[in-house]
Chains A and B, each alone.
Chain A
Amino acid sequence: MKGTDALGEAAIRAGCRCYFGYPITPQNEVPEYMSRRMQEVGGVFLQGESEIASINMVLGAAASGMRAMTSSSSPGISLKQEGLSFLAALELPAVIVNINRGGPGLGNIAPSQGDYYQATRGGGHGDYRMPVYAPAYVQELYDITMKSFDVADLYRTPVMILGDGMMGQIVEPIYLHERPDVEIPPKDYILDGAENRPSRIIKSLILDPVEMEEHNWKLKRKYDLMAHELPEWEEFMTNDAKLTIIAYGTAARIAKGAVKRARSEGLKVGLLRPITLWPFPEEAIRNLAKKTKLFLVFEMSTGQMIDDVRLAVEGKVPCEFYGRPGGVVPIPQEIARIIERYWLQKEL
C-alpha cells in the first residue's frame, strides 16, 4: 500500500470522521483518499479555502467531540501554526500531518526534513509542546496514524505526524489491522448544546497573569507526563557500535542501508532512529553515550535535530553532522562513505 493511502485508511479505521484540508504537493493524495473514503463511511470531508480555515474547521469539529484531522506540507503548515497554538491552549485533540518539502519559502516539492524545528519547538506562539511522530516505514505510518488519535484524545493535545514526499509515495506491503483497544476517557469538555447540563466554555484567554501562570504549569505537568510516557525509538545494531548514526524518517531508512554496508565491511556501526521527535528519546541516547565512541547525526536539512542530540549527550561523546538539505535524497553508499571517513579520521 502507498504511504498516503495507508495514512488515510488508518485514520478512517481509527474513527476519524472529519477531514479538512487545502491542496498542496506532495500530500494531495491524502485529501484525495479522504474525499473518497469519508463519503463511504458517512464522515465529513471538506476542502477549506486555506490552511488557516482548515485547521480552524478541525478545531470546531474537535470541540464537537469528533476525531478530526488535517494534512498539509511545509508552507501550509506555517499557516496552521496559529490554529496549532489554539488547539494546544484549548486542549483539543487533533491530528496534523506535515509531509515536509524543501524550503524555506516555496522551496520545492522534494523530500526534506527542514521543518524539524518548527514541529518540535512549537511553531505557533506560546508556551506549549506537541507530540511529533516521524514514521519511516509504511506499516509504521499506518500504526502511528492510528495511535496518534488515541494519544490526542488521552492527553487532549494536537499530535503531528511528520513525514516527507518519499514516505508518502513509497509502496510497501502492510497489515491493515483494526483499531487497538484503548480506553478513551469520556469527553466531558465538548460543546454540543447545554441540554440538561450547565453551559460550558472552551477558551484560552486568561487575563490574570497569576491564573495564566497556574494554567501554564498545569500544561507543563501534562507535557512532563507525555515526555515520560511517549518517547519511542528504534535501535539497530547499537549494542557493540563504536559509531552510532542518529537519523529519523526517510534519512533513517537510508542510514540503515549504510549501516548494513559498513557492517559487511566489519565496521561496528549502529543506528538509533527517534520515532518521536517530541518527546525526544533522550534517555536512549544518553544510555548509548555510555557505550559508543562517536555519534553521527544525519538529517535531510542543514542540521536541526543535532541540537536535541547534543542536549541529550551533554558533551560526553563527540557529535558529528552530515546533512543534505534542499530535497536531495542521498543513496546509502554516500552515507557509508561518510561513515568510513569518520571511522578512519577518529581512529575507531
Chain B
Amino acid sequence: MKIVYTRPKCLKPVPNHYCPGCGHSIIHRLICELVDEMNMRGRIICIPPAGCAVLAYNYFDFDVCESAHGRGCAIATGFKRAQPDRIIFTYQGDGDMAAIGTAETLHAANRGEKITSIFVNNAVYGMTGGQMAPTTMIGQKTTTSPYGRRTEVEGYPLKITELIATLPGAAYVVRTSLANPAKIRETKKAIKKAFEVQMAGAGYSLVEVLSPCPTNWKVSPREAFAYLEEKMEKEYPIGVMKDYTAKKDK
C-alpha cells in the first residue's frame, strides 16, 4: 500500500485553535510540508506575528521566536545578520505587515534582507475580532467600518505587495490564493520558491496569500472560498510580480 497523505513531521500532532475554514491552518501545513521536503528543520527559524497566528509555535516543530505586533521583519533582520546561514522567515497578517509593521517590512525588503515573509491577507484583523484592516475591501463591513469601507473616510485597500515589488531589494514577490486546491498547490510552489530565493542569497522574498476568515467575514467556510475567488482576487490579482530568476533567464 502506498501512503499518499500524511501529517508533515514538522507539524506537531495537536489540535489547532483556528476556526473551521481558516486559511492559517492550510498555510501552516504547506510550510511544514516544505520544511520536511526541503530538509530545513535544522536551520529554519520562524517569526510569527501578533495576530491569529501568534500561537504558531504550538504547531511548528522548529525554532520559533515571538514578535511584537508588526516588528517581524526587524527581528528577522537581527536573526539573519547574526546567522547568515540560517533560513529566517516571518509569518504575518495584513494588520501586522501592512499597518503597524509597514516601515519594518518595506525597509527590510528595500535592504534586500535575505529573509522570507509569508503574508496572510484576510482583509480583516482576525485576532482582535474583525476590525478594519489596511487591506479591507472597499464597501466591506467590519466591526470598525460598520457602514462598509468608504474610500473618502478610510482610504483605499493597501497593496503593500505591489509596493514591495518596486523595490530593488526584493527578489521574488508573488500573490497567491487559497481559493481552490489548484491554487493551494500554487501557493506551496510559491513558498518553496521564496525559500529557494532566500537560500540563493538573492534578496527579500515575499508570498502574499489571500486567505479566508469565515468567522469575521460572517460567512460559511464554503462561501468564504467563493468570496476569495470572486471578490478578493479582483481587488488583489494573483500572480508573480517580481522574479529575479526570470530576469536572469532572459
Which residues of A does B touch, CB under 8 Å? Answer: 18, 20, 44, 46, 48-50, 52-54, 56-66, 68, 82-83, 86, 90, 191-196, 199-205
Contact = CB atoms under 8 A, between A and B. Distances in A.
B57 A203 contact: yes
B63 interface: yes
A203 to B, nearest CB: 4
B189 interface: no
A52 B101 CA distance: 10
Contacts of A54: 74
Contact of A61 (B60, B64, B81): B81
Given A62-B78, A199-B41, A202-B65, 6 more contacts: A58-B78, A60-B47, A192-B63, A193-B41, A200-B63, A200-B64
A66 to B, nearest CB: 5
B41 A59 contact: no
Nearest to B67: A56
A57 B74 contact: yes
Contact of B43 (A56, A57, A59, A195): A195
Interface residues of B, number: 34
B28 interface: no
A50 B103 CA distance: 8
A199 to B, nearest CB: 5
Interface string B43-79: 1110100000011010011111111100100111111
B181 interface: no
B16 interface: no
The 7 closest A-B pairs by CB, nearest first: A60-B78, A195-B42, A56-B74, A64-B82, A57-B78, A193-B43, A49-B107
26 contacts: A46-B77, A48-B107, A49-B103, A52-B103, A53-B74, A56-B75, A56-B77, A57-B77, A59-B75, A60-B65, A60-B74, A60-B75, A61-B81, A62-B78, A83-B71, A90-B66, A191-B45, A193-B45, A193-B86, A194-B41, A199-B61, A199-B62, A199-B64, A201-B65, A201-B66, A203-B66
Contacts of B79: 60-61, 63-64, 191
B66 A196 contact: no
Contacts of B103: 49-50, 52-53
A193 B76 CA distance: 13
Contacts of B45: 191-193
Interface in B192-213: none
Given A20-B78, A63-B78, A66-B82, A52 B71 contact: yes
Contacts of A202: 64-66
A56 B78 contact: yes
B78 A61 contact: yes
B60 A199 contact: yes
